[in-house]
Amino acid sequence: MTKENQSVVTEFILQVLSSQPRTQTVLFIVFLVVYLFSMVGNILIIAVVRVDCQLQSPMYFFLANLSFIDICFISSFIPQMLVNFVTKKSTISFSGCAAQTYFSLIFGVTECVLLGVMAYDRYMAICHPLLYTTAMNRKVCTLMVVACWISSLLSSTYVSGLTFQLPFCGPNTLNHYFCEVPALLVLACTDTAFVELVVFIFSILIALIPFLLIVFSYAHIFSTILKIQSTGVQYKTFSTCGSHLMVVTIFYGTVICIYMNPTSRTRQDRDKVVSLFYTIGAPVLNPLIYSLRNKDMKRALRKAMNSPKSLFI
């Protein structure tokens, strides 16, 4: 790509979810509340896991990492959206768009892989309880999280690098509320077949394979639960695992739906709405599903609320 091509598009115009001033005001309030709720909920999870001695297990270690990722993920684009709603200026610089794409990819990919790791952790805990302590010790858990981040950094750097090496010579109106690879590929004024293939391959490696691992893990988990004699224990475990699986299915289903066919021009408006499920829905729902339905986490949260100073020690 030549320098001339690189300098043709200096900024992108983002198409927000509505162009009506009153609707934009409502959306600003909604997204602000959602953002603050997600931030507070996930920060609380990290804080209570850090200070509560009864939450020092692999499950809560992964949960705290998931909360940190959710904070970073939703912060990679929501503040920009809120600014655009206030200023009525829906533009983002070329470099700002590249940074937003890169960081949202990093956090989104890390979450994809980590959710697979969390399902494997539950599989080991429920299906192989005698091996659990040895197989999922602190060192192994830390290495798993590090592997999630490394795979994310490598894949995100490659995909975003390929995307922004493409020439963008107009139009520059991005049919999305933030900079995302599928929406950007539509605007490239060159053949994007190779980048589409790369995106498709990485979608299989990063989204489809972990999703299949989750399905495999939960299939064995449900099979093990059915062998439990206590109906109460069965119901409790089914309820918790079912909620987790529902959120995970929505997250992976929407990601796979969009990234497996990244340049479909006929469904861009639909994809813009569908992407809300994994970009905003997951960071908001994860604290509720993974924590507030958990007895130990609710106990730790009540304890923290009664003694808020303990969170900052």
Token readout for 86 is 């206030």
In a domain, 198, yes or no: yes
In a domain, 4, yes or no: no
Q: Are strands 11-14 and 91-93 parallel, antiparallel or unpaired?
A: antiparallel
Least confident of 19-33, 188-202, 270-284, 291-305: 291-305
In a domain, 93, yes or no: yes
Strand partners, 11: 93
- Three-class DSSP category at 93: strand
Structure letter (DSSP) for residue 166: S
Query: What local confidence, expressed as pLDDT, does residue 234 receive?
Result: 67
pLDDT in tens, 213-226: 888 888 888 888 77
In a domain, 98, yes or no: yes
Total domains, the chain: 1
Least confident of 59-68, 188-197, 277-286: 277-286
In a domain, 24, yes or no: yes
Q: Which domain holds residue 295?
A: 10-312
Q: What is the mean pLDDT of the chain?
A: 82
In a domain, 5, yes or no: no
Task: Bin 137: left if φ > 0, else alpha if -120 < ψ < 50, else beta.
Answer: beta
In a domain, 3, yes or no: no
Query: What local confidence, expressed as pLDDT, does residue 3 receive?
Result: 44
Q: What is the percent of the chain where pLDDT is above 90?
A: 24
Question: Phi first, then psi: what are they for 253, rounded to 5°?
Answer: -60, -45
- Three-class DSSP category at 278: helix
If we measure between CA atoms, which residue out of 252, 266, 294, 305 comes closest to residue 62? 294
Looking at residue 307, which CATH number applies to its domain? 1.20.1070.10
In a domain, 224, yes or no: yes
Model confidence at 98, in pLDDT bands (50, 70, 90)? very high
pTM, rounded to two decimals: 0.86
Query: What local confidence, expressed as pLDDT, does residue 53 receive?
Result: 79
Mean pLDDT calculated for residue range 119-137? 88
Model confidence at 69, in pLDDT bands (50, 70, 90)? very high
Q: What is the percent of the chain where pLDDT is above 70?
A: 83
